[in-house]
Amino acid sequence: MVVATNTTSIRSEKIRHIELPIIDLKAEKSEVVKKIVKACEEFGFFKVINHGVPSDVISRMEEEGKEFFAKPVCEKQQAGPANPYGYGSKNIGIMGDQGEVEYILLQTNPLGISEKTQRISTDPMKFRYAVTSYIEAVREVACEILELISEGLGVPLDTSVLSRLIRDVESDSVFRLNHYPPLKDSNKNTSASSFHHHENQNSTSNCNSNNRVIGFGEHTDPQILTLLTSNDVGGLQISLEDGVWIPVNPQPISSFCVFVGDVLEAMTNGRFPSVRHRVIVNRVEARMSMALFASPPLHAKISPIPELLSGNNKKLFRSFTWAEYKKTTYANRLGERRLSFFMIL
Ligand code: GA4
């Protein structure tokens, strides 16, 4: 059966299995730098291991997520709607995008976290502790990667050119917990208390041409860098060319997937393309992922790193503030190539 909705178009798709780069952050530095640059140029994506985020920090956050998503829908809705922060289910953004996903979106500043926690957890202090320690540790990894990137790009005198944007107290970074209930739930009595507690009745409406159920539709992340970890249930795919999808397996467990975002594409003057990705729903098991979207402060001006504009390299995108870019992001559909609005013709 082929189902078309206004959120998906019919076109043929191919799945290609490729070994994606896995980078050991504790390996010899110059090798790590080379590998990261290569991965960012070729894929806009890689995985990191030996990242230094303590496993208990990850598992504590995972437990909080599981506990929340296992609650009855009406309780979860107390933490919503996501406008854009808070609990959301199926609706993504405000332009009509939908997916078979429920989520919590939080701003990472202390105010953003404490504002919502009261309605997310019966033990807000515990929840807040899990979130803040997770964000702090993962932000540190993001900074380390950005500093290695700066070195690899030939900006050795100012290796914090990227990382200082996200270390800034006013950084607009966002934390997201995603829960993709399995398809079999559509036939199950959802009143049973389980981690899979979700009403997945309408799942065929979010199908693509190959009748896969779309959890989160294809898009690039607007920010600088995204670090994502998941449980051992797959579904994430990246795309380097239209209609060809590369599955990303969730192993090694507790590794982080790193995605180049639109702002990094602009700052590298197109050298590191932001990577299109999506999530397909698993038929039997629930996927849960946790993502930190590392962003600049709203007022930060985004321009290519000057060192990357030498010689014949013409500036590809006009400069913009993150506030301006974020506004464009929310005014357009999920799958929009929003960076093209900023292209210098
Ligand atoms: C994609 C990346 C992040 O999850 C996110 C998403 C945001 C949202 O869910 O509120 C957006 C989406 C994301 C890009 C286009 C707009 C905004 C939903 C949407 C349709 C939090 C982000 O920053 O951009």
Per-run averaged pLDDT (10 residues), the chain, 345 residues: 41 92 98 98 98 98 97 95 94 96 94 82 94 98 98 89 96 98 63 40 54 94 98 97 96 96 98 98 96 98 93 93 98 98 95
Q: Which of 52, 227, 38, 228 is nearest to 148 (CA)?
A: 38
pLDDT at 224: 98
Residues near ligand 1 with C-beta < 6 Å? Answer: 84, 92-93, 95, 97, 105, 174, 176, 219, 221-222, 293, 329-330, 334
Catalytic entry in 287, 318, 337, 338: 287
Angle at 225 between CA 317 and CA 101, to 5 degrees: 110
Q: Cβ(166)–Cβ(142) under 8 Å?
A: yes
Distance 274 CA to ligand 1 centre (A): 14
Annotated catalytic residue 287: yes
The per-residue pLDDT for 115 is 78
Angle between helix 55-69 and helix 124-152 axes, rounded to 10 deg = 130
Check residue 187 and give its pLDDT: 45
Best of 92, 108, 257 for a ligand 1 pocket test (most atoms within 8 Å of beta carbon): 92
What is the Å distance from ligand 1's center to 317 Cα? 21
Cβ atoms of 115 and 123 closer than 8 Å: no
Q: What is the pLDDT at residue 267?
A: 98
**What's residue 206's pLDDT?**
66
* CA 295 to ligand 1 center in whole angstroms: 12
Least Cα distance to 108 among 219, 262, 220, 227 occurs for 227
3-state secondary structure of 5: strand
Full DSSP string of 189-234: -TTS-STT----TTGGGGB-TT-PBEEEEEE--SSSEEEEEE-S--
Radius of gyration of the chain (CA): 19
Q: What is the ipTM of this complex?
A: 0.99
DSSP state of 85: S
The Å distance, Cα 136 to ligand 1 centre, comes to 21
The pair of structure tokens assigned to 208 is 């693509």
pLDDT at position 332 is 98
The pLDDT, as a whole number, for residue 313 is 87
